[in-house]
Amino acid sequence: MKGKIGYAPHVKRFYVSWYDSTDQKTYKVYQYKGFKLSSRDLAEKLLASMQGDVEKGVFRIEAYTKAGGEVVPYLRQWLKAIKGTIAPATYKDYENSIESHLVPFFETKPSIQLHEIRYDTLMELLGAISREGKGKLNVMYCLHACLDFAWRSQRIVAIPPFPKKKNYNITENPIVWLPEARQKGVIEAMPLEDQPISWWLKYTLRRPCEAFSLHKVDFDGEQWTVHRSVSARELIDRTKTGEIHEVPLLDELIPYLEIEKQKQRSLGIVSPYFFVNPRGKTPGQPYTWKAWSDIWKAARAKTGESIRAYAGTKHSTASQLINEYGYNLHDLQIAGDWARLESVKKYGKVETAARKALLEKSVIRIKPVTNLERKGER
């Protein structure tokens, strides 16, 4: 078998001499799971562990030569490798999950190798994450993505089972939304030059960042091709889900498109962006999330509402279609171009009125029987 045990008199410690064919280099390993090889017995355990990893096809010399273990450096190596393939906001979220939660946890467990992460380790990690609900889930998603990368890279033979969703104690709060009359009231309370983008969001069921990044070339006079978004304040040529959406022009939007054109003409703005913030620091720049949400906050204050901007547009319109217009979930999925029916189910849970109407339709009304009718039956 590969590897041999030696003794270094100058440090009074045993070691395992190991030739790594990948690096074409011989290593001398002086510790095993954080313990110095003070006895031959420990050295034999280390050698057996290394030989066992070779047989299982998961051997990596870094797992034995890095004093702090291999998990932490691999997490950082993985994040660096995928940086150009994920959205900036996702990268920042992964980075925060790694440095704030995963690194502190695995630094306390230097003896655990990448392929030795098991369900019990993950449950311990879950309890150590100083977040609640979906915050914990995001950290675990990050680790799962890293282990999936390691599996595809043949660094590990399998991805361990992760805690079930019920273990995160996530409470799904009902969707908050405005009836259409109140939603329109908020938008109408905005300055006229700021209304077009908000009406577009109301009628198209798209995300605000997609509206901010919309370009004039994305509109052919009959429909918009939505394929851009904003991530961590950066314009990117992909939507949140990576899908391209064809959004039709509705008659209700035509007057507001004219208002947007007139606004840009009157201010002498020449911009590639479809919706332009008239108060932006640089002429021709689009709305940002902060600028648009501040406009929404001011308008909702005028109308006595407290709902947030995202819920006041996309969530509200989707909920209105179900609860005020009687759409079913499949209709809503088509209208909003959702890829999965699961994504729209939350909008069918927000109001009892629609459920009441459906239940009432299922009730068979029994006509009261009169005394004369009873006599006739005899």
Helices 134-152 and 119-128, interaxial angle, to 10°?
140
* 14 and 30 fall within a common domain: yes
* 58 and 81 fall within a common domain: no
Evaluate whether residue 297 is within a structural domain.
yes
Report the distance separating Cα 124 and Cα 163, nearest Å.
10
The pLDDT score that the predictor gives to residue 57 is 80
Q: Where are the alpha helices (DSSP H) in 205-276?
A: 208-212, 254-266
Evaluate whether residue 221 is within a structural domain.
yes
| 99 Cβ contact partners less than 8 Å away, ≥ 6 residues apart | none
* 220 and 82 fall within a common domain: no
Which residues of the chain carry a pLDDT beneath 50?
364-366, 374, 377-378
Q: Which of 33, 65, 97 is the last residue of a domain?
A: 65
The pLDDT score that the predictor gives to residue 355 is 58
The CA distances from residue 148 to 96, 134, 144, 162, 308, in Å, are 19, 20, 6, 12, 36
* 211 and 351 fall within a common domain: yes
- The label of the residue with tokens 């890095």 reads 66
* 130 and 202 fall within a common domain: no
* 196 and 289 fall within a common domain: yes
Evaluate whether residue 108 is within a structural domain.
yes
- Amino acid symbol at 29: V
Task: Provide the residue range defining the domain that includes 120.
Answer: 71-168
The pLDDT score that the predictor gives to residue 97 is 97
Helix (H/G/I), strand (E/B), else coil: 100 = helix
Q: What is the CATH number of the domain that holds 99?
A: 1.10.150
pLDDT tens-place string over residues 60-85? 787 788 766 789 999 999 999 999 89
* 204 and 332 fall within a common domain: yes
Evaluate whether residue 374 is within a structural domain.
no
* 31 and 112 fall within a common domain: no
Report the distance separating Cα 314 and Cα 178, nearest Å.
10
Is residue 317 within 8 Å of 309, Cβ to Cβ?
no
The pLDDT score that the predictor gives to residue 364 is 47
Length of the chain (residues): 378
* 22 and 157 fall within a common domain: no
* 10 and 140 fall within a common domain: no
Evaluate whether residue 236 is within a structural domain.
yes
The pLDDT score that the predictor gives to residue 376 is 53
* 92 and 114 fall within a common domain: yes
Q: What is the CATH number of the domain that holds 330?
A: 1.10.443.10
375 alpha-carbon distance from chain centroid: 70
Please state the φ and ψ torsions of residue 106, each to the nearest 5 degrees: -75, -20
Is residue 170 within 8 Å of 133, Cβ to Cβ?
yes
Evaluate whether residue 246 is within a structural domain.
yes
Evaluate whether residue 276 is within a structural domain.
yes
237 alpha-carbon distance from chain centroid: 18
The pLDDT score that the predictor gives to residue 351 is 52
Number of domains in the chain: 3
Evaluate whether residue 372 is within a structural domain.
no
* 161 and 192 fall within a common domain: no
Q: Which of 168, 202, 219 is the last residue of a domain?
A: 168
Q: Which of 15, 41, 65 is the last residue of a domain?
A: 65
